[in-house]
Structure 1
Amino acid sequence: MIDCKVTGANWIELPPKSYKLRAKLPETSTCQLEIDIRYDRFISHPPEGEWSKIAPLRILSFDIECAGRKGIFPEPTIDPIIQIANMVTRQGEKHPFIRNVFTLNSCAPIVATDVIECYDQGKMLQAWRDFVIEVDPDVIIGYNIANFDFPYLLERAQHLKVNKFPYLGRMKGIKTEAKDTKFSSKAYGTRENKFINILFYNHL
Structure 2
Amino acid sequence: MFYLGIDVAKAKLDCYLLTQLEPLKGKAKVVTNTTKGLADLLIWLTKNHIPHDQLHVTLEATGVYHELAATQLHDAGVCVSIANPAQIKHFGQGLAVRTKTAGVDSQVLARYCAMIKPAAWTPPPPEARILKGFLARREAILQDLLREQNRQEKAESTVTPELIHQSINDSITFLNAQLKKLQSQIDDHIDRHPGLKNDLD
TM-score by length of 2: 0.30
Greater share of helix: 2
Q: Which has the larger radius of gyration?
A: 2
Greater share of strand: 1
TM-score by length of 1: 0.29
More relative contact order, 1 or 2 (CA 8 Å, 6+ apart): 2
